C-alpha cells in the first residue's frame, strides 16, 4: 500500500478562495495540497468578476460593506502580485461602475439606495439621464438617470482563477483531482483528510474552502459544520464583433424593480448577469429567468442586439445566514473555514486569503480573534447565544441572520 503523503496544509476546494489561500500559503513556505475534482470550475467560473463594495452594500449589512471596501482596496496590489507570479494577465480594471434606473419608480429606488450609501460614507454621486448617456453613450435614451460608483471595479474572474492555478503550481502547490470525503480529527485535532477514492493525506491543518458544498464534508466535528447553502445564479457571456460598439465600463441597472448588470471585458466580451434562486444543488438554467435577464439588459443597452451569444454559465453561490463569509479558526485544532462568500467571493479573495494564511502561519491573530477585518465574520458567530463562550458549538439550522 502506498504510504500516506504528509503536507502542512490540505485545502478542500479549489475555487478562487481555496486557490488564493493555497498560492499564498505555498509562497510563504508551507507544503500545500489542493483537493478538488474540478478546480476553478465552481461558482468562481460562472461569476461576473465585479469588485463592487458599493453596489453590493445593502441595508443592514454595514459590517459587510466595510469588509468589502477593504477588499476592493486590496485588489490592485493582489492583481499585480498575481500577474507577476503567474506571468498571466488578470485584467483588473479600475474604471468604476454606472448604476442606472430604467423608469421613474426605479429612479426613486436608486435614490433611496444612494442616500444609504452616502450615509455610511461610500462613494456614490447622483447623475441625470444626460450625464449618464454622456458617460456611456450606449445607454437607451429613455433611462431615468443613475448613480456614479467610482469605487466599484472589475477583474476577469476566469483569468484570475487561471493565474491562481499557474501561480500555485509555480509556488509548489500539489493538486489532487478528487473530492475530500472526510476531514480526519482525533482528540480534537485535525490529522488530515480521506478522499473519495479512499486514499488519505496526512496534514495538521485543513482549510475548508468547498464553496456551497462546505457543509457537506464528512467528519466535521459537531459545532464546526458551516451553515452554507447553495444560491444558484446564471450569467450569459456575449461578444461584440468587429465594428460593434462596446460599453466603456460596468453598467448595473434597475429595470422595473429587477436588477441586472453588464460587465465589459478588454477583448470585446461582455458578461451579463445574474439570476438568483434557491434550488439546492441543481445547476440547470430555467428559460424564464434568462429571458427576463436578456429583456432587461436589452432595454438598458439596445446595442446588445448586435452581440453574439457565446455561453450561458450557472454556479452555486455559497450563501450564509447573514450573507457574510465565514473565515477563521474553529474549536477544532487545525481546522479553518474560508467559505460563505455568497455574492462577493471574487471581491474578497485577496483579503480572505491573507487572513487565512496569517492564521495558518501564526496559529491565530496576534491580538486575538476579535480583531482584524474578519472580526465580525468568524465561523462561530452563528452559535446559539446561550452556549457561546467564543468557539462554543452550534448546530446547523439554528442560525439566524438579518
Ligand atoms: C452567477 C454568479 C455571478 C457572480 N458574480 C460575482 C461577482 O461579480 N463578484 C463577486 O465577487 N462574486 C460573484 N459571485 C460569487 C462568487 O462566484 C463566489 O462567492 C465565489 O466564487 C466563491 O468562491 P469559492 O472558492 O468559495 O467557491 P467555488 O468557486 O464554488 O469553489 C468551490 C470548489 O469546491 C469544490 N468542492 C466542493 N465539494 C468538494 C469536496 N468535497 N472536496 C473537494 N472539493 C470540493 C468544487 O468543485 C469547487 O471547485 C457570483 C456567483 C454567481 C453564481
pLDDT digits (tens, 9 = 90+) for 237-267: 999 999 999 999 999 999 999 999 999 999 9
Q: Are residues 241 and 309 in the same domain?
A: yes
Q: Are residues 131 and 275 in the same domain?
A: yes
* Any atom of ligand 1 within 6 Å of the Cβ of 16: yes
> Given pLDDT bands bounded at 50, 70 and 90, which one contains residue 393?
very low
pLDDT at residue 166 greater than cutoff 60: yes
pTM: 0.95
How many domains would you assign to the chain?
2
**Which residue range forms the structural domain that includes residue 280?**
97-150+230-317
| CA 216 to ligand 1: nearest atom | 41
Query: Grid coordinates 461569476 are at which residue?
Result: 47
Q: Are residues 171 and 77 in the same domain?
A: yes
**Ligand 1 centroid vs 318 CA: distance in angstroms?**
7
What tens digit of pLDDT does each residue of 329-366 get? Answer: 999 999 999 999 999 999 999 999 999 999 999 988 87
Per-residue pLDDT, 367: 80
pLDDT at residue 272 greater than cutoff 60: yes
Residue 384: which CATH number? 3.50.50.60
Q: How many CA atoms does the CB half-sphere of 382 hold within 13 Å?
A: 26
What residues pair up with 311 in beta bridges, in sequence order? 237
**Ligand 1 centroid vs 265 CA: distance in angstroms?**
20
Measuring from atom 18 of ligand 1, which residue has the nearest CA?
345
Residue 312: which CATH number? 3.30.9.10
Q: Are residues 198 and 240 in the same domain?
A: no
What tens digit of pLDDT does each residue of 89-124 get? Answer: 999 999 999 999 999 999 999 999 999 999 999 999
**Ligand 1 centroid vs 228 CA: distance in angstroms?**
12
Q: Are residues 325 and 373 in the same domain?
A: yes
CA–chain centroid gap for 214, Å, is: 14
Residue range 55-79: mean pLDDT, rounded? 96
Per-residue pLDDT, 364: 81
Q: If DSSP codes are grouped into helix, strand and coil, which group holds residue 97? A: strand
Q: Are residues 196 and 146 in the same domain?
A: no
> Given pLDDT bands bounded at 50, 70 and 90, which one contains residue 2?
low
For residue 314, is it left (φ>0), alpha (ψ between -120 and 50) or beta?
beta
291, 317, 343 - which closes a domain: 317
Q: Are residues 243 and 135 in the same domain?
A: yes
> In sequence order, what are the residues at sequence separation of 6 or more whose Cβ sits closer than 8 angstroms to the Cβ of residue 398?
382, 384
Give the largest Cα separation in the chain, rounded. Answer: 72
| CA 234 to ligand 1: nearest atom | 1
Q: Which residues of 30-43 are buried (b: 16+ CB within 10 A; e: fewer)?
A: bbbbbbbeebbbbb
pLDDT at residue 44 greater than cutoff 70: yes
**Distance between start and end Cα atoms, the chain:** 51
* Rg value, the chain, Cα: 21
Amino acid at each position: 500500500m502506498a504510504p500516506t503523503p504528509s503536507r502542512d496544509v490540505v485545502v478542500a476546494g479549489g475555487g478562487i478562495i481555496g486557490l488564493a489561500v493555497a498560492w499564498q500559503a505555498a509562497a510563504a513556505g508551507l507544503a500545500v495540497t489542493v483537493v478538488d475534482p474540478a478546480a476553478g470550475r465552481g461558482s468562481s467560473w460562472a461569476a461576473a468578476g465585479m469588485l463592487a463594495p458599493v453596489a453590493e452594500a445593502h441595508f443592514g449589512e454595514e459590517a459587510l460593506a466595510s469588509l468589502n471596501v477593504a477588499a476592493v482596496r486590496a485588489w490592485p496590489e493582489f492583481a499585480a502580485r498575481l500577474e507577476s507570479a503567474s506571468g498571466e494577465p488578470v485584467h483588473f480594471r479600475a474604471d468604476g461602475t454606472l448604476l442606472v434606473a430604467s423608469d421613474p419608480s426605479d429612479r426613486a429606488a436608486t435614490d433611496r439606495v444612494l442616500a444609504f450609501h452616502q450615509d455610511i460614507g461610500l462613494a456614490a454621486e447622483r447623475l441625470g439621464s444626460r450625464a449618464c448617456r454622456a458617460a456611456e453613450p450606449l445607454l437607451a435614451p429613455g433611462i431615468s438617470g443613475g448613480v456614479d460608483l467610482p469605487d466599484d471595479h472589475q477583474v476577469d474572474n476566469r483569468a484570475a482563477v487561471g493565474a491562481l492555478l499557474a501561480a500555485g503550481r509555480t509556488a509548489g502547490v500539489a493538486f489532487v483531482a478528487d473530492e475530500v470525503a472526510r476531514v480526519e480529527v482525533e482528540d480534537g485535532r485535525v490529522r488530515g483528510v480521506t478522499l473519495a477514492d479512499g486514499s488519505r493525506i496526512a496534514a495538521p491543518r485543513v482549510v475548508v474552502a468547498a464553496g456551497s458544498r462546505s457543509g457537506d464534508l464528512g467528519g466535521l466535528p459537531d459545532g464546526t459544520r458551516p451553515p452554507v447553502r447553495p444560491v444558484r445564479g446564471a450569467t450569459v457571456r456575449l461578444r461584440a464583433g468587429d465594428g460593434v460598439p462596446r460599453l466603456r465600463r460596468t453598467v448595473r441597472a434597475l429595470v422595473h424593480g429587477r436588477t441586472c448588470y453588464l460587465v465589459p471585458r478588454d477583448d470585446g466580451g461582455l458578461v451579463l448577469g445574474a439570476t438568483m434562486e434557491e434550488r439546492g444543488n441543481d445547476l440547470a438554467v430555467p428559460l424564464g429567468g434568462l429571458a427576463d435577464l436578456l429583456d432587461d439588459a436589452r432595454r438598458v443597452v439596445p446595442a446588445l442586439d448586435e452581440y453574439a451569444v457565446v455561453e450561458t454559465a450557472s454556479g452555486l453561490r455559497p450563501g450564509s445566514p447573514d450573507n457574510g463569509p465565514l473565515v477563521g479558526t474553529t474549536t477544532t485544532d487545525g481546522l479553518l473555514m474560508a467559505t460563505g462568500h455568497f455574492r462577493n467571493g471574487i471581491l474578497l479573495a485577496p483579503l480572505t486569503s491573507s487572513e487565512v494564511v496569517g492564521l495558518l502561519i501564526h496559529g491565530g491573530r496576534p491580538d486575538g480573534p476579535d480583531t482584524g477585518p474578519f472580526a465580525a465574520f468568524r465561523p462561530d458567530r452563528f452559535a446559539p447565544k446561550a452556549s457561546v463562550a467564543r468557539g462554543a458549538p452550534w448546530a446547523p439550522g439554528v442560525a439566524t441572520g438579518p
